Structure 1
Amino acid sequence: MSTTATTTQTITGSAQDASTPPRLTMLRVSGVDIVNAVGNKVILKGAGLGGMLNMENFITGYSGHEHEHRAALAEVLGKEKAAFFFDRFIHHFFTDADAALFVSLGLNCLRVPFNYRHFMDDDNPDVIKQEGFALLDRIVDICARHGLYVVLDLHAVPGGQNQDWHSDSGLSRALFWEFRDFQDRAVQLWRAIAAHYAGNPVIAGYNPLNEPADPQHTRLVAWYERVEQAIRAVDPDHMLFLDGNTYAMDFSAFDPAHALPNAVYSCHDYARLGFPGGPQYDGSDAQRLHLRASFARKVAFMRAAGVPIWNGEFGPVYQERDEDGDDAAESAAATNERRFALLREQLRIYREFDAPVSWSIWLWKDVGYQGMVHLDPDSAYMRLVRPFVDKKKRLGLDFWGVADKSAVDGAVYGPFIAKLRDMVPAHLLRKKYPNTWTFDRQVERVVRECLMSEYLGWEMAELFEGKTEEELEELASSFALEKCVTRDMLNEILRADAKLTG
Structure 2
Amino acid sequence: MSVNINVPPSPAPSETGVLRLKGSAIVDANGHEVLLKGAGLGGWLNMENFITGYPGHETEMRRALSKVLGQEKYDFFFDRFLEYFFDDKDAEFFASLGLNCLRIPFNYRHFESDLNPGVFLERGFLWLDRVINICARRGIFTILDLHAAPGGQNVDWHSDTGIHKALFWEHKEFQDRSIALWRKLAARYKGNTWVAGYNPLNEPTDKEHTRVLAWYERVNQAILEVDPEHIQFYDGNTFAADFSRFGQPLPNSVYAIHDYSNFGFPAGEPYKGTPEQKMRLESSFKRKIAYHLKHGGHIWNGEFGPVYAGPTDAPDWESINVDRYNVLKDQLSLYDQHKVSWSIWLYKDIGFQGMVYCAPDTPYMKRLDAFLQKKKRLAADAWGADTSTVKDVFDPLEAWFVKEVPHIKQRYPSTWRPNNHIGRIMRNILLSEELIPEYAAYFDGLTNQQLDEMAASFKFENCMQREGLNLVLREHAAK
Match of 1:124, SS?
coil
TM-superposed deviation, 1:430 = 2.3
> Does residue 110 of structure 2 align to residue 122 of structure 1?
no
Partner of 2:9: none
Distance 1:300 1:133 in 2: 36
Return the match for 1:342 from 321, 327, 333.
327
8 Å CA contact retained: 1:24, 1:147: no
User: Which residue does the alignment assign to 1:179?
Assistant: 171
What residue is the counterpart of 2:337 in the other structure?
352
Name the structure 1 match of 2:4.
none
1:429 alignment partner, SS class:
helix
2:390 is matched with which residue? 408
**Which amino acid letter does the alignment assign opposite residue 436 of structure 1?**
T
Rounded to whole Å, the distance in 1 between the matches of 2:77 and 2:54 is: 14
Q: Does 2:366 correspond to 1:383? A: yes
- Determine if contact 2:106/2:145 at 8 Å carries over to the other structure: yes
Asked if 2 retains the 8 angstrom alpha-carbon contact of 1:283 and 1:342, the reply is yes
- Work out which of the residue numbers 420, 430, 433 in structure 1 matches 2:412: 433
Query: How big is each residue's C-alpha offset from its partner over 1:302-333, in whole Å with a ceiling of 9 and x where there is no partner?
Result: 11111110000000000013x17xxx44x001
2-side partners of 1:124 and 1:217: how far apart? Answer: 31
- Please give the TM-score of this superposition, normalised by the length of structure 2: 0.96
Match of 2:433 in 1: 454
CA separation in 2, counterparts of 1:124 and 1:292?
Answer: 47
1:258-297 matches, cutoff 5 A: 258-297=248-287
Aligned to 2:232: 240
State the alpha-carbon separation in 1 of the partners of residues 21 and 293 from structure 2. Answer: 14
**What do you get for the CA RMSD once the two structures are aligned?**
1.3
Match of 1:394 in 2: 377
- Using structure 1 for the length normalisation, give the TM-score: 0.91
Q: Which runs of 5+ in 1 are unaligned?
A: 1-19
State how far apart, in whole Å, the 2-side matches of 1:416 and 1:401 are: 21
- The one-letter code sitting in structure 2 at the alignment partner of 1:418 is A
Of 391, 398, 412, 1:417 maps to: 398
1:339 Cα offset (Å):
0.2
Report 1:18-417 matches (<5 A): 23-255=15-247, 258-321=248-311, 323=312, 328-329=314-315, 331-353=316-338, 356-403=339-386, 405-410=387-392, 412-417=393-398
| Structure 1 residue identity aligned to 2:48 | E
Aligned pairs, how many?
Answer: 468
Deviations 1:122-155, CA, capped at 9 Å, x for gaps:
0111211111101100011101111110000000
Contact 1:317 1:401 in 2 (8 A): yes
Provide the rounded CA distance (Å) in 2 between the counterparts of 1:472 and 1:334.
37
Which aligned segments of 4 or more residues in structure 1 are displaced greater than 3 angstroms? 20-24
What's the CA shift for 1:22? 6.5
Which letter maps to 1:32?
A: S
Contact map agreement 1:21 1:147 (CA 8 A) in 2:
no
Distance in 2 (CA, whole Å) between partners of 1:391 and 1:401 is 15
Distance 2:191 2:120 in 1: 20
Report SS of the residue matched to 2:409: coil
Which amino acid in structure 2 is aligned with residue 458 of structure 1? P
- Aligned partners of 1:417 and 1:62: how far apart in 2? 27
1:217-274 CA-to-partner distances (Å, cap 9, x unmatched) read 111111011001111111111000000000000001101xx21121111000000010
Taking only the aligned residue pairs, the percentage that are identical comes to 54
Instruction: Give, in whole Å, the separation in 2 of the partners of 1:62 and 1:142.
Output: 27
Code of the aligned partner of 1:316: P
Task: Tell me how far apart the structure 1 counterparts of residues 192 and 17 of structure 2 sit (CA, whole Å).
Answer: 9
Which residue does the alignment assign to 1:14?
A: none
CA–CA separation in structure 2 for the residues paired with 1:180 and 1:98: 39
Amino acid at match of 1:295: F
What is the CA distance between 1:419 and its match in structure 2? 2.1
1:497 Cα deviation from its structure 2 partner: 1.1
Tell me how far apart the structure 2 counterparts of residues 313 and 50 of structure 1 sit (CA, whole Å).
Answer: 11
Deviation at 1:439, TM superposition (A): 1.4
Q: Which sits farther off after the overlay, 286-295 or 56-65? A: 286-295
What does the per-residue CA deviation read over 1:343-392, in whole Å, with 9 as the maximum and x for residues that have no partner? Answer: 10001111122xx2100000000000110000100100000112111111
- Structure 2: runs of 5 or more not aligned: 1-11
User: Do the aligned partners of 1:239 and 1:263 also contact (CA within 8 Å) in 2?
Assistant: yes
Shift of 1:82: 1.2
**In 2, distance between residues paired with 1:25 and 1:99?**
21
Give, in whole Å, the separation in 2 of the partners of 1:106 and 1:478. 26
Q: Is the 8 A contact 2:84 2:458 kept in 1?
A: yes
